Amino acid sequence: MTRSSLWTVVGVIVAVVIAWFLVDVIFKLAWLIAKLGMVAIVAVVVFLVIRMLFRRSED
């Protein structure tokens, strides 16, 4: 194995490790953003239901 092909193999391994890490981080961020969006939607629905219930009890 020549020195050039050895560096090619090392480069490929390093590239795969870096890509694995980046994809993991991207998926965690995407899941966090999706979760925050779902929480915001549920919070708005709960707020509107509570507001509706209190408005009925005041009448």
DSSP 2-43: -HHHHHHHHHHHHHHHHHHHHHHHHHHHHHHHHHHHHHHHHH
Regions in the chain scoring below 70 on pLDDT: 58-59
User: In this predicted structure, what is the pLDDT of residue 59?
Assistant: 59
**What is the pTM (predicted TM-score) of this model?**
0.66
Q: Specify the pLDDT at position 11.
A: 96
